[in-house]
Structure 1
Amino acid sequence: MPEPERKIPKFQRFLVQWMPFGCAAGLTLHSVLASNLLPAVFLAFGTGLTSLWVVYSQAFMKEVEREVEKLGEQHARLLIGLLKVLRRTIINQTISVLPLPYTPKARYCKHLQYSYRGLTIEGIHLNKPRALQDVFVEVYLSPRDRVDHVPTGLLRQRYDDKPQNNIGYYLAQMPKSWQSQRLAILGAPGSGKTTLMRYVALMYALRIPYRLHPKAPQYLPVLLYLRDICKEILQNPNVKLTTIVTQWANNLLETKPLNLPEGWFADQLGRNQCLVMLDGLDEVANAGDRQAVSCWVDRQMNNYPDTSFILTSRPLGYQEAQLRTAIQVLEIQSLTKEQIEQFVWNWFDVTESKRHDTEDDVIAHEEAHQQAKGLLAEVEKQPNLSELVSNPLLLTLTAKTYHKKQGIPLRKVKLYRTICQVMLDDLPQWKGRSCLSYQEKLSILQPFALSLMRRGTRSFTLEEAEPVFTEHLGKLHDAPTTMEFLTQLQAVDALIAKEREGDYEFAHLSFQEYLAALELKDTNQQQDLLAALHAKGKLAWWAETMRFYATLQADITPLIEAILQEWDTAQQFNLEKSLFGLDLCQEGSVEKKVREDFLCAPLKGLNLESHEIVSKLQPHNYFKLAHYLQTEQWKVADIETFYVMGQIMEGWSIESLKEFPGVYLRMIDQLWLKHSQGRFGFSVQKQIWVEVGGKLDYGADVEAADKAYEKLLQELKWNEKIRPINPPRLDVDAHLPVGRGWGKVAKNRGVWLGALLSHSSL
């Protein structure tokens, strides 16, 4: 086999092989001639070693040649790739900056910019327009092998194990193969299908498709709403795509018609320059009409086999009228936590800038920061809310209805009222597919939701729903059948989801709870809630319904009285119901005396003014502490004491401990004394501290304070790691009231203990 051609020149190879030997031999000869015998001996030995390099280097150089060749190829590919990116960036930026000649294409793109630059949401009125570019957050798309594998519900589980890419990735794939030129994007109601298509059209109209993807091809965007053109298609099934597109483009702005040259769009489509986006197959109301429109779309795809098409639809609408053309099905995924946060920050930044009528106002950005921070914190705290905002429509409604200065319960009820109004009334009317009015739908759904709550279930079958639906539909004029109404709720209103064949449920349990609360309020039925308070294990199921009811109802005094009565009967209060009662008091209206009796109940028997405590301290703090002490959970009570004190002081320091509010310190001390029969508490510790010679205030004498503390440990034989709250003779393993954090707040524990026990309130 012939030796491969050498890449390193012969002269360089010769130098690498013989230069070490030549240099070593020359130095040896020089040392001999200079009579430096000892260096000459060492250099002679080195010269002998370099002679081995001559033989070794032959194989070495061959391997170096191979590796250098590989490295050179890699670097060349990297350099070429960087040059391509640079070239593409320069071209994209130049195209986006340089003005287009005043051609039909330029006029068309300008009309598209006017039409799609603002954020519009179906069925929702936005007080102030928002720029789509400033608010838009790209959603992820995942491929699906079968249409019936795409979930149909308003809220659905994310599939993080599936490939996820944005729309730009799929646009970049379109020129590579014909299979990538046909996309069907399916998504739940409010998942952002139309907004996504408008954003794609806007990026192409602005000549900045590289924002979608660095390799996005250059297209002329065409966005047709199928609900607007279906009438013409149904009247003339053979109408050409060029005819519809030309009519649509000329009417983009009625006050400024485009008046494109005849045959201009036919030429663009013929040269495969267009990206045709057909939005909302599901919005064609009648199933038969939908199938006819689907057949028309099939014909257009066959007529223009090299043109790129994107069709959008809800899953149910597409299942009933699937395209026959081979098409890649993509599902819009729910929003991730990061996408939700990005949208919220974008939304409030734009909103406050609009309100302050400036983009660079510091106050506007600060207001936006506070609003976004508040909403995200609330979403984090409420599991139901965090599930809802994974849907772009519901996230937009949440951001729209949120106001930082309004109480959380009112915001929550306002949000659900807005969601139901939009889903049951605004969207169906906007689509022209409303079979009943909003109030008529509520008159059916409210009692049905309450019946599901009473049964303790979310799911139902058609047979189970039929008696309730038939009863209420029978009272309405020209009402649909039960099946038609259920189909409307599922396919159009999206408030009902079909989980399995024959099984239905509300799109989210909180919708069921809200509607049930509305029914309880309208019919003044508190007995269900009172029964849930007393029945074991039912409170968790009814809790959210009660919270909605508390905010909706004028007076929830009977519910609080029921909790008080249970305390009196059991001679102790249940922590779960106590904290739940606090929530109800905060969310609803309660008679003044009953509210005060409830808030003061944990402090009964204490030698202090309870109402003074109630007016100054957060009830959650002393409710938990009183419960742990009453049930003799000393360690947990000790941890809670440390937590409560830290909250009141807003951080631990000697100064804040000395200035600790006396009314709170007396409350904590007396709670410990009461429930421990006088064994535990700060006043007990103070007495022991003085008995062993400790001072109440050592000031700056840290060394003396530490010695006193050590003496206390030795005298009482406290475990250094545990530090019990009381002397060991009481044989209770508990901490000091600040024991859990004692080692964290300071090393000088004697100073801290002296500062605490020297408080004038003890």
Structure 2
Amino acid sequence: MSVVGRVVVSILGLAGVPAAWLLIRQNLAEPWLAVVLFILFETVVALGAMVISVAHQTIRRRLEQVANVVDLALGRRVSRYARHYRRYVLEENAHLNARDLAHTPSHIPELDAVYVDVGLVPGSPSARSGGILPHTPDDGRERRPIHEFLDRKEPTVLAVIGAPGGGKTTLLRHTASRVAKAPKQEQRRRIPVLVALRDFAELISTDRHLDLAGLIREAVGRLAVAEPDGWWEVQLREGNCVVLLDGLDEVARTVDRTAVSEWIERQISKHAANDFVITSRPHGYQTAVIPQATVVQVRPLTTGQIWHFVHTWCLASERLATGKTGPEIDRRASEEAEDLLGQLVSAPALQELAVNPLLLTMMVLVHRERRALPSGRADLYNQVCDVMLWRRMESKKLEVKPSGVVRQRILAALAYEMMLGETRDFPRAEVVAVFDRMLQSIDAEVTAEALLESIVDSSGLLIERERDLFAFTHHTLCEYLASVHIRSQGLVSVLIREIENPWWRETILLYVTDTDASAIVEACLERDSGAALSLAFDCIRNHGQIHRHLRERLDAFRRQAFADDATPEHRLRVARALATGHFRTLVALENGTLVCSEPVPENLYWLFCRDTGILLPDGLHSLSTDTDRPALGMWRGEAERFVAWFNEAAAEESGSRFRIASADEVAAVPKEHFRKLTANAVLSFPEASGSGTAAPERMPFLHQARAIASIEETEAAELLPDAGRLVVGLCLAEAVALGRHLSDARSLDFDQIGDICDRMDLLLSIARVICGSEWNRVNSVLAGRVRRLRELNGRIRVLSVQRDPRIQERVSQLLAGLVDFYGDVDPTDVTNILDPLHLDVADRKPIRSVMMGLALDRALTEVEAAYIGAGSGSGFMPSHDVSAAIVSRFAITLSTAARLGTGHRDLEGLSRLDRGLREARTILKSSVGPSDWAAVAADRLLSTAHPILSRQVRASRPELIRIRTSALVLAAESELLDFPEEAEEFRMVADGASLLEDRLSGRAPLEVLFLARE
């Protein structure tokens, strides 16, 4: 009760005495009653005072509570803490984190000036995706920036998975900065929280009551303005935060990582209105999965992003270094960037590494210091170590104790011990032990602990990845320094022992770049395993120093694989070595896909053909085992089989799978990489359709001029069954007709007799085409008789007046000679021709149509109509020029009947022709009968074309000409028989034969095979 209240109560209590006295004095009440009233009054006053006192305390407490709530709310509302915190976030993340670099630049650019958004794609981590280079295939999913996942109406939980140096931490730092400076109207959740989990793993594991707000206070510390009470709890409760938890994989022990993961799960559930992002390497996340998280993966830099990063870095660095801006500064920065990018293009090994943001940053730093980018990784790492450990410090006149050379020697010893232990992390005690042992051999006034702290602080080569757990910035630096230690200490025996151990492979290759590799190569040859031989070839490929006799021995070993008597096992071992060398030519595209920058070489493809029985490609005529000349002209199905074979051969070394690169992927490869391509190389195969079959290829229609030339060149002995007998039979039919006319001397028609003789002359002219290799034999029989018939025809005109009976006798003798000859060839056909029930020998057309089909018959008839009249009755004998014209006219007529197309057609692979030819042959035989000329000719075409189209044998030019001509004749025949679909199939065969001929001769573009990593 307050003082006033106590005074009032006291007055009321004292007032009861005079009031009671007045009652007695004025006789208003009996004395005893006055006393009772007095007691009652005092009791009421006392009770009232007690009630008022209790109520006052309760009201005061409630008022104090209301005042506190109002005060806190107003305090948080008007407090400057949020503004100071955002400023703190922006300052902490304003510049690139130089502590992550192997070399601290003299001028650190602002993060926003050089930041490249690597992009995210959905996907779970795999066991293969933890390396420096990407292993996840680019399946066409679009890269998305992280801000598209965050600040939605519904909160987001992301697990961002990425390779070492892939840009995960930089992504979070840029995100924190972006959220902190976003206008209020553009951002739902405006409070970024960035926490490195490795710094608080122990606290999280030991303090079961630690909540997210408490962890944030630990991470942020004290700012210039004190935090209003409960400020972080309110922000988390209201869903105002973007919580960025970096490096789940960097929590060292699995048990601690699991505890941290479970803690994160609880905080996500407790503060579900906020966005959460957790980063990790793949292997770390696999043992500590966050169930609520959507997994996305960081993608490697694309070619365009590499270009952008290099240009922005050079520009920012030049402006910082000079303190100036303007066109001249921009020009100098652009020249520096283009110089670096040009050197990257010419060094595929470094181009492969440049897709990693951290390694690219290292390259930019080395190039800026040295104005040159080395051609090999060993040179790069040497320059990085050189600059980091002492050169830059000395250039600033800073004391370096011990010297940079000694520091590198000590780090090399540490790297060697880590390689022996097959570990990437060393605890502080073991690092100090190695340093102490090395320091004992030199005169240096520095302790191992002090040297460790100095190297970590100044060089960036070694980092404290977790508390008291040290690692090299990148494992490749560890491998390089281990090779330096082995070289200086003469420990090549260790490498020889480990030549089949993948852990040591890069160390061995880095070692041989500047050391005699003879002992290693000799050991590889003695082991004679796929991995060992692959390493031996890589030693030569990396310009290792190797004795001449070993080079010759290794070269002989390689050449033996291409000998006829080589064993399949030997060929396969060499193939594995060549395959391993080939997939090391990978370059990264803008979308992150890795494509082999060089096409599959013909020596590797030749080994594939010998191992599988596949035919050699169309462009491989003479194998060159000494060069990496590309294989040319494989069919798509064969290319797919090669990829399967390649994946099996290279699986041991690559740890990845490859596929045929798409046209867009090959087109995106910088043209500087296409060093070994011929002018007519086709850089890709048609894309596969949704059904899984090859998409149509564009194939030109057969031009009529080429068809004519083909017919003129073709020996009809290959085109027509028994061409020699056909010509003799046709001549026999004409002779029989002539004999009939001469049998009745009274009704001689000299013009008709002349036409018959001219037709026989024409047959002899065409016989050169139709009979081919049988021409000499046919000509020896026919030429003399036709000449005698011509002479006889001339004498008929004289003798007819005399009705000389010897005419009949002489004609009979001539006919007998023809019949005898024809009978020697096939007596049955003589019967067929002369059998009046079968054919009317006076009508030559039915005989021809049966013996040579409708198309050839009509072509021959048209030629007769054009040329017979010119020599009618004059003993017509075509000259050589006229004979050639006759043959040309015959070919033109026949090709026209085949109805050739123009332009291009779609062809679903050359192998598709074999199936179409079979179908056309079957339908034709079932329609016209198996003994019809068209059916027989289709059988003959299939027997010739099938082994070629099914890739059982390699085609020759004469075979392809015969196939083309036969297909053209059958196309014309099918059109006349009203089979348009079959005619189209035959035309496609003719087109395909022309394409194959051009491929074999080199006139047509030939495919080369590029591989992409899945």
TM-score (normalizing by structure 1): 0.45
Query: 1 or 2 for the larger relative contact order (CA 8 Å, sep ≥6)?
Result: 2
Larger Rg: 2
TM-score (normalizing by structure 2): 0.34
